[in-house]
A and B are shown apart, each in its own frame.
Chain A
Amino acid sequence: MSTATHTEKNKVKKYRKEGTLGLWTGFGMLGAMILAGALIPRLSKYDPNEPSLIPMLAPSRANFFGTDSLGRDIFVRVFDAVFVDLGTAFIGVSIPLVVGTIIGTLLGISRNKRVNSFIGSLIDGINAFPFLIFVIALIAFIGPGIPSIILALSLVNWARYARIARTRAVVVNQQGYVEAARTLGFSKKRILFKHIIPNVSSETRAYALSDFIIVIIAVAALSFLGLGSKPPQAEWGAMIKDGAGLLPINIWWPTVFPGLALCWAGISVAFLAEGLNRRLREVNV
């Protein structure tokens, strides 16, 4: 093995940063799906909601993914569902992220024992319940529909973010830079929004990315149970349920394609999360 001389080492070859592959793959997959979700329903000659075709046709050149039991083109329906599924999941993560981070942070820095133990117990209580069951119970109470899913998810999920935020906020609050901000006379508002929350939300945002995958599946699962989107709106979970009854007679396409779409969404976010993790890890080394 030769040893590189000093002068050679000065030529730093350009290299790809860690995690780039994951980030590009993830973005690419997700981006492609979103683009398709925007364009395909518009460009296709089929209407996603009109039962105008012969039902249960196998995939062909005319209908890429075949038709479902009511005679609708599955291809256009799968992509019509993109915004519903991804959009609902996105909102269903964003609201708990923001609410949970703020509440958790305030709790972490508060010195008021009573408030702390009251809300703290509330958070622990909510977190103790199995997530999906709690959500289902809430929806049974509120009534089905996409807005209900979002509401139920928000009411349950914020507690998970709050717990992470609270733990992190306690640590951040004791850090030198926060104490320095106090001695420097910064206003409480500035300290909270410029110093504490950004360093707390770095953790909750990381959690949000992996939570996104869980919520996508949860949204589909809830619709599968009939608690989600109202028919005839296309939605992956509902489509899977509609197609489930046809599986015993070997009509696989109404179930498999929405299922694949779900997988695609989940995997692309997983790539994104992994790529981001690697990138951050390299930077911190």
Chain B
Amino acid sequence: MSDFLLEARNVSVTFGSGSTKVEAVKNVSLTLSAGEPIGIVGESGSGKSTLARVLAGLQPPTEGEIYFNGQPVYNGAKSYTGEARRQVQMVFQDPYGSLNPQLTGLSAVAEAVRIHDKCDKKESEVRALELLKRMGIAQLDALKKPRQLSGGQRQRVSVARALSANPTVLLADEPTSAIDQSAQAQLLNLFRGLLNDGLAIVMVSHDLGVIRYLTKRVYVMKDGVFVESGVTEEIFNDPREDYTKLLLASIPGHLGTAARKKLHG
């Protein structure tokens, strides 16, 4: 039914009804192949987070279908089941809400490892520590509760937790928005490493700088629809839509300055 690893076909998501109807996503289609990094860029309110949650199986679409490995994902309100469920994981935007405040980083990741590897408690902790180490979280920090960790550290613990399922697709919803520039660089390096390991990543962001760094293809989203899409480098060098040009001009630093020059001649 679908040749791609993950595909969305004519997906729409509408919340509420009558006077309070909100069309968050309107007739959107996208594809993702194995090991590919793609981006969905747009401002807040564009519907990109909703779309990410639809792809993750957390939000059933009002219309349209999602296919994973050729199979439809949604069956009524139910989504990914069995083997497929572990293959598609997500990292959320707010580092402060993405970890259970009562669990240490180690417990959180070990719990996920236990469920997926079906090993005993001790073994799961060993594997969890290793995973956390790969994410740059030292053993000392793994034993801390989330409130004792920085935003960047929390994000990395979340990534470790997501990776414990050994996924083939990672959806990242604005993972760098709430953290420092230096922590951002660490996280992006991490993602780059995961790409090299063969993971497919969908990066949702409002910052084209991040998209440019990490992705090969990008979809530009505004008010629930894709206004432009294509190869990331081409979008940067030759944006067609005004909205895309606006986004480019807003990137802080040199990229933005260059884009602004092009915009104003």
Q: Which of A177, A184, A198 contacts B89 (CB 8 A)?
A: A184
Complex Cα spacing A195 to B101, Å: 9
Complex Cα spacing A144 to B255, Å: 79
19 CB contacts below 8 A, A to B, read A175-B97, A176-B98, A176-B99, A177-B98, A180-B90, A180-B158, A180-B162, A182-B57, A183-B56, A183-B57, A183-B58, A183-B88, A183-B162, A185-B80, A185-B85, A185-B86, A186-B111, A194-B111, A198-B100
Interface size of A as a range? 10 to 19
Which residues of chain A in 144-180 are interfacial with respect to chain B, using CB atoms and an 8 Å cutoff? 175-177, 179-180
Which B residues touch A184, using CB under 8 A? 86, 89, 112, 115-116, 161-162, 164-165
Q: Which residue of A lies closest to B86 (CB)?
A: A185
B79 to chain A, nearest CB (A): 9
Q: Which residue of A lies closest to B173 (CB)?
A: A176
**Is B102 interfacial (CB 8 A cutoff)?**
yes
B228 to chain A, nearest CB (A): 29
Which residues of chain A in 198-232 are interfacial with respect to chain B, using CB atoms and an 8 Å cutoff? 198-199, 202
A182 touches B98 (CB 8 A): no
**Is A5 interfacial (CB 8 A cutoff)?**
no
Complex Cα spacing A283 to B144, Å: 12
Query: Known: A184-B161, A184-B165, A199-B102. Contact between A179 and B58, CB under 8 A?
Result: yes
A183 touches B98 (CB 8 A): no
Which A residues touch B68, using CB under 8 A? none
Q: Which residue of A lies closest to B108 (CB)?
A: A177
Contact with A along B145-174 (1 / 0, CB 8 A): 001000000000010011011000000000
Query: Known: A176-B97, A177-B97, A195-B100. Contact between A182 and B158, CB under 8 A?
Result: no
**Is A284 interfacial (CB 8 A cutoff)?**
yes
Residues of B within 8 A of A (CB): 53, 56-58, 80, 85-86, 88-90, 92-94, 97-102, 108, 111-112, 115-116, 147, 158, 161-162, 164-165
Which A residues touch B108, using CB under 8 A? 177
Q: Which residue of A lies closest to B56 (CB)?
A: A183
A185 touches B165 (CB 8 A): yes
A179 touches B165 (CB 8 A): no
B100 touches A199 (CB 8 A): yes
A199 touches B101 (CB 8 A): yes
Which B residues touch A283, using CB under 8 A? 147
Complex Cα spacing A283 to B147, Å: 9
B165 touches A176 (CB 8 A): no
Complex Cα spacing A106 to B89, Å: 26
Which A residues touch B88, using CB under 8 A? 183
A179 touches B100 (CB 8 A): no
B90 touches A183 (CB 8 A): yes
B107 to chain A, nearest CB (A): 10
Which A residues touch B86, using CB under 8 A? 184-185
Q: Which of A179, A182, A185, A199 contacts B115 (CB 8 A)?
A: A185
B94 touches A176 (CB 8 A): yes
Q: Which of A179, A194, A198, A199 contacts B92 (CB 8 A)?
A: A179
A183 to chain B, nearest CB (A): 5
Q: Supply 16 further A-B pairs (C-beta < 8 A) apart from A183-B88, A184-B89, A186-B111.
A: A176-B97, A176-B158, A177-B97, A177-B99, A179-B53, A180-B158, A183-B56, A183-B57, A183-B90, A183-B162, A184-B162, A184-B165, A185-B115, A195-B100, A198-B100, A198-B102
Complex Cα spacing A228 to B115, Å: 51
Contact with B along A265-285 (1 / 0, CB 8 A): 000000000000000000110
Interface centre among B92, B97, B99, B147 (most CB of A within 10 A): B97
Which B residues touch A182, using CB under 8 A? 57-58
Q: Which residue of A lies closest to B94 (CB)?
A: A176
Complex Cα spacing A198 to B112, Å: 18
Interface centre among A179, A194, A283 (most CB of B within 10 A): A179
Which B residues touch A175, using CB under 8 A? 97-98
